[in-house]
Amino acid sequence: MEEIASRYNCFLFTMKDQNRSGQIPFLKKILLVFAAFSLLGGGLLFLSVLDKPDAGSREPSAWEIASGWEKLARGRKGKVIFASPPRLLVLNLGNGEKKELPGIVVAGGKGRNARGKSPCPFWAPNGGKFLYRFAGHVYVGDEQGHKAIVADPRMDMGDEASWSWLTAFGKDWAVGPALNGDMIAVNPADPGASWIVYYGKNIKKHCEITGSGKFVVYDDGRSVYVARNGSSGPGMNISRGQSCRPCAAPDDRVAWLAQGHSGYRIHDAAGGRELASILAPPGEEIYRLNWSNDPDFAAHMYGSRGNERMHVRRVSNGGYLYIGNGWDPDLWLEPAR
């Protein structure tokens, strides 16, 4: 403590000495406060940035991301795949470092037409591979830059079509809309292996399957519905006449984006009961929520008016961390021990 006090007094003396009147100008007062926090080892100024990660317009530093993630996820490893067209990148939340994936090109960007071409990457449950869209195709890729087309003539691979990943029956499946309005599952390693998940013929681009494989959630252009795997009826209407960006959790919960993009409404897939909401951070909107492989974590972007701010979320307590700018973030975490 004596050493800290000595350094503090030395700094104070230097500040006064530079001002002949003996008064400390406003800017120097700010520097003095900063020095006091730093010398006392508190790091309080940085803590305020982490507690309010979406204050201001600058992107967070790697240190801020890593520190914020430690606070949000209590030391679990995590990574986010996202687009910054024409690049696809992975952010390591443990150290805040980003890496561009070699050999992979994507489209998309600001504006309604460009947004429809965005890649919508989606991690496999084990975090080893991911799905993404580009130029009218669905691909499976990895962080080394390997990629292959997932092809079935029944797949809807056009703009806005969403594709998610399911592991079931000992195999991996790319699950998404079929051209006839059904929901189809295709094996990325063997596109000849496929099956119809939902026979309703009324899906309009956006659909996902829960991690258990028991339920699907989709929009028909007017409302969001939940139906059982293998069914053909419309299922339960859970959105009260709104239709925007449904998504599914790795457990049997589903969600949809409320009008005004103020938040996602979370429902029990089995009974349709509304359980909770994931609200947008203060002063922002939510666009394209993606649940992670852990039911308590998710990621989303702002999206409206060209805003590219991305957040990772703690679903159970509403916690959020601003991780920088990009499109279509998807989060993966190591399994809880």
pLDDT digits (tens, 9 = 90+) for 7-28: 333 333 333 333 333 443 433 3
Pick the CATH number of 60-333 from 3.90.650.10, 2.120.10.30, 3.30.70.270, 3.40.50.300: 2.120.10.30
Confidence (pLDDT) at 213: 94
Interior angle at CA 88, CA 247 and CA 313, nearest 5: 40
pLDDT digit string (tens) for 47-67?
A: 333 434 444 468 999 999 999
Residue 128 vs residue 37, higher pLDDT: 128
Mean pLDDT of the chain: 83
Q: What is the mean pLDDT of residues 122-134?
A: 96
d(CA 288, CA 244): 9
| Contact status, residue 91 vs residue 291, Cβ threshold 8 Å | no
**What DSSP element (H or E) covers 57?**
none
Confidence (pLDDT) at 302: 85
Residue type (1 letter), 40? L
Residue of 211, 131, 216, 150 whose CA lies nearest to 182: 216
Q: What percent of the chain is predicted at pLDDT more than 90? A: 66
Has this prediction a pTM greater than 0.75? yes
Q: What is the mean pLDDT of residues 85-106?
A: 97
Interior angle at CA 97, CA 55 and CA 119, nearest 5: 85
Confidence (pLDDT) at 336: 85
Sign, CA torsion 322/324/326/328: negative
Q: What is the mean pLDDT of residues 222-232?
A: 95
Interior angle at CA 177, CA 172 and CA 182, nearest 5: 105
Structure tokens at 238: 């859970």
d(CA 45, CA 52): 11
pLDDT digit string (tens) for 115-126?
A: 778 899 999 999
d(CA 36, CA 27): 14
Structure tokens at 67: 């520190």
